[in-house]
Amino acid sequence: MAELLTGVCAGTVALVLLAAFAGHLRAPRTLPAALAAHRVVPGPLRWAVAVAAAVLEGVLGAGTGYALVAGRAHLLTLAASGAAVLLALYAAYALYVLRTRPSVPCGCATGPGGDAPMTGWVPGRATALALASVAAAAGSGPATGSHGTHVAVLLLSSVVFAVLLSLLPQAMFDPERRPA
């Protein structure tokens, strides 16, 4: 059972990070524009921060996914640990922005309708993914030992959770309750 749980956590994190990376490739101006609206990152650093975040999402997502599929426990520990740190930073940053400027875009660029607004679901999702990354890193041995039917269940479950978590901020946004 531990192998299934940690495998689903690793697969979900990998897919969400890869979806975020693809979203940033699809809409490269979304994150820099959101960073400008957040007014936290200085102007000259916005593009560098946006590119660094997108690259880290891609590398950590690909590393976590590859390690899980290839059965590389050590690489899964490293990639999932890196993802945990990145996602914890995202959660802290999103919480700060939410408290100081609640009506700005999040910069996620993963939803079908474009960017989602900054709501409490954004730091909540980042926190849930950070915890899933910790679980994946802690259980990397059992997660990479999955075979046969467990792999199919793991992949299908990961896809379901990744889709739900990718769309969560937009799905939970109610424009009628938007703060003034």
Q: Write the pLDDT tens digit of every residue in 130-180.
A: 999 999 999 877 666 666 556 666 776 777 777 766 666 566 555 565 554
Q: Which amino acid is at 89?
A: L
CA 7 – CA 102 distance, rounded (Å) = 35
Give, as one character, the DSSP assignment of residue 45: G
pLDDT tens per residue across span 32-81: 999 999 999 999 999 999 999 999 999 999 999 999 888 888 999 999 99
- Which residue from 18, 11, 24, 26 is spatially nearest to 133, judged by alpha carbons? 11
> What are the structural domain ranges in the chain?
2-171
Please report the beta strands in the chain, taking only residues with DSSP state E, as ranges in sequence order: none
Is residue 112 predicted with pLDDT exceeding 60? no
Buried b (16+ CB within 10 A) or exposed e, 107-123: bbbbbeeebbbbbebbb
> How high is the pLDDT of residue 180?
45
pLDDT tier for residue 92 given thresholds of 50, 70 and 90: very high
pTM equals 0.84
pLDDT at 115: 67
Q: Look up residue 99 and give its amino acid.
A: R
What would the mean pLDDT of 79-99 be, rounded to a whole number? 96
